[in-house]
């Protein structure tokens, strides 16, 4: 996860962590993570997937990397014993074939060069090991931020949302995996369901300036941001807000 896109680990937790935490076991299952493996989490952020891997494998078997110093500090603090390093996906600070599996959760679309990044994941994974990644379905309206971006487009048709980012459209992750030289590439979808107790609880983290959505909201004058909030509120029934979010996933063999 590109550190420049986020304000800090606590804000990220409140904004995207509410979806990335339940997504983590889905990706770990899809990648076939099992006891005895040594696994790398690329673009770990503050550690949603890293924590799942530590629960399954033990901290000594888990490494993680992220380009954001605050995220690395948070992951190290939360997961003592795991090897968490500062670094970019495009130049991983690990040796060839060091891991049984390398995973990237919600990170490919923020890589400076996704193809180079995935090639690096393959490089540090042993021959026959698994590389797996997932990205929210921003292009087809299945991601957790779909209602926000739909409302934003209605009010501002020229808005630059996240639908053009790498891996957000069906089939693109698999294309990138194959271009990176991975074998036996398979694509799937991962889905999480999150219930928010109220619209206000769903909306408030958007105001923290996290990621493209938070940055866009922060850039609006107060009147326009108020209109966007009202438009979003009109998209949900009163009471709890239920979000079903879909991510595209791909896996292949190094």
Question: pLDDT tens across 94-125, in order?
Answer: 999 999 999 999 999 999 999 999 999 999 99
Instruction: Write down the pLDDT at residue 219.
Output: 95
Superfamily of structural domain 3-143+162-196+243-253:
Vaccinia Virus protein VP39 (3.40.50.150)
Instruction: Write down the pLDDT at residue 8.
Output: 85
Query: What is the reported pTM?
Result: 0.93
38: CB partners within 8 A, 6+ apart: 57, 61, 62, 63, 98, 99, 100
**How many degrees, rounded to 5, is the angle at CA 211 between CA 19 and CA 193?**
15
Tens digits of per-residue pLDDT, 120-142? 999 999 999 999 999 999 988 99
Indicate the range of 51-55, 158-162, 177-181, 237-241 predicted with least confidence. Answer: 158-162
Rg of the chain over Cα atoms, rounded to whole angstroms, equals 18
Please tell me the number of Cα atoms within 13 Å of 131 on its side-chain side.
Answer: 29
Is residue 5 pLDDT above 80, yes or no? no
Tokens, residue 28: 């770990």
Beta bridge partners of 195: 242
226: CB partners within 8 A, 6+ apart: none
Tens digits of per-residue pLDDT, 221-252? 999 999 999 999 999 999 999 999 999 999 99
């Amino acid at each position: 996860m590109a550190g420049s896109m986020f304000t800090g680990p606590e804000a990220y937790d409140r904004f995207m962590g509410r979806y990335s935490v339940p997504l983590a076991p889905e990706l770990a299952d899809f990648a076939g993570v099992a006891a005895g493996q040594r696994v790398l989490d690329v673009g770990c952020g503050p550690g949603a997937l890293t924590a799942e891997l530590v629960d399954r494998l033990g901290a000594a078997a888990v490494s993680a990397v992220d380009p954001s110093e605050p995220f690395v500090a948070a992951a190290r603090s939360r997961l003592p014993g795991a090897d968490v390093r500062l670094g970019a996906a495009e130049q991983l600070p690990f040796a060839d074939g060091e891991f049984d599996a390398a995973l990237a959760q919600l990170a490919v679309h923020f890589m400076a060069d996704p193809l180079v990044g995935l090639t690096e994941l393959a490089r540090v994974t042993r021959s026959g090991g698994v590389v797996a990644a997932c990205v929210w379905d921003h292009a087809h309206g299945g991601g957790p931020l779909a209602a926000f971006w739909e409302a934003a487009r209605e009010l501002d048709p020229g808005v630059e949302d996240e639908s053009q980012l790498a891996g957000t459209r069906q089939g693109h992750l698999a294309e990138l995996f194959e271009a990176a030289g991975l074998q036996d590439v398979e694509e799937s979808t991962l889905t999480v369901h999150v219930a928010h107790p109220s619209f206000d609880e769903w909306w408030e983290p958007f105001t923290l300036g996290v990621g493209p959505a938070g940055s866009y909201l922060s850039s609006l004058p107060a009147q326009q941001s108020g209109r966007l909030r009202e438009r979003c509120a009109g998209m949900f029934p009163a009471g709890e807000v239920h979000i079903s979010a879909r991510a595209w996933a791909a896996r292949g063999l190094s």
